[in-house]
A and B are shown apart, each in its own frame.
Chain A
């Protein structure tokens, strides 16, 4: 299709835009319209659309601005909370990764040293009764249960517990 703009298109469009069509249309422009398809299309289409617009605007069902204002504020507040929530989530993931690393390192250390504390656990019911003083004594005497192991394990469990509690409270 060839694009053939007519030199009088703007004139026709301007009359239509001002709402002066066809009352203020000079006779020679009317005569031009009957001969020029491009200008005729503009007049026909613009009239149809302007009529449709005025009808649709009259039947529009619009909500109250207050309700939309409230929705927009809620939307913006949620977006702000989400924005500040991102670094917190990053910190949680970092803490979890550190804890997992400690657990894995501990397990690797124990595996390398033959899980001596497991054999100690098997011997426990036979050798000792389950009194706290006996337990602490045995832990200090047994080389597999040194403070070097107990402290990181306790710290890891405490940290993991804290993370779990925090995540649970966040969800609620």
Chain B
């Protein structure tokens, strides 16, 4: 990945005023570097957003918005690993903003894809029903720790929570979802 180009206000203004807006729209990496980064990061990010939110259509929107904001950031981090962590941080904030907004009031506003995805995931996947019973923050922590393999310190950086509290929150969330998974597993085994 290329080094991010520095962007200062003083360097933007004269160019824009002179009618040359090219420098003002310079992004932290070139298009080829971005294409490679996108190829490696888009699918894991979509998986995170889709499984934590439970809404694939929402994941589509938030993933695109995350990448646009990532490209708009003046310092998205050095290297691919830091860049990806920064990307997950943006996505986590976008999810939090989405959950803070008032919920959809009309069933017409919910896309058909949402129902299709929920219906498809139920019979084959034991994790989806268990995830649905978890709190949003627990889902985020569990996914980041167990699907993405981030350390407590990295999760703290992504979520903005204290590093010390991650350990306890994650321990509680893991214990709870493990119980739910065991319950579901035994229920499935009992069914003919």
Residues of A within 8 A of B (CB): 1, 3, 17, 40-42, 44-46, 48-53, 55-57, 60-63, 65-66, 68-69, 71-73, 75-77, 79-81, 83-84
Contact = CB atoms under 8 A, between A and B. Distances in A.
Contacts of B44: 53, 57
Given A62-B63, A84-B16, A69 B34 contact: yes
Given A60-B50, A72-B71, 4 more contacts: A52-B128, A62-B38, A69-B34, A76-B26
B60 interface: yes
Interface of B: 9, 12-13, 16-17, 21, 24-27, 31, 34-35, 38-39, 42-44, 46-47, 50-51, 56, 60, 63-64, 67-68, 71-72, 125-128, 130, 142-143, 146-149, 167-168, 171-172, 174-175, 177-178, 181-182
B174 A45 contact: yes
Contacts of A80: 12, 16, 21, 24-25
Given A3-B171, A79-B72, A53 B47 contact: yes
A56 B146 contact: no
Contacts of B68: 68, 71-72, 75
Given A3-B171, A73-B25, A76-B25, A45 B47 contact: no
A63 B34 contact: no
Describe B's contact surface by its main secondary structure.
Answer: helix
B147 A83 contact: no
Nearest to A62: B42
Given A53-B147, A62-B42, A62-B43, A48 B126 contact: yes
A132 B46 CA distance: 77
Given A45-B146, A49-B146, A60 B178 contact: no
B50 A56 contact: yes
28 contacts: A1-B171, A1-B172, A3-B167, A17-B149, A41-B174, A49-B127, A52-B47, A53-B143, A53-B148, A56-B46, A57-B46, A60-B46, A60-B47, A62-B43, A63-B60, A63-B64, A68-B38, A68-B68, A69-B31, A72-B27, A72-B68, A76-B24, A76-B26, A76-B27, A77-B24, A81-B24, A84-B12, A84-B16
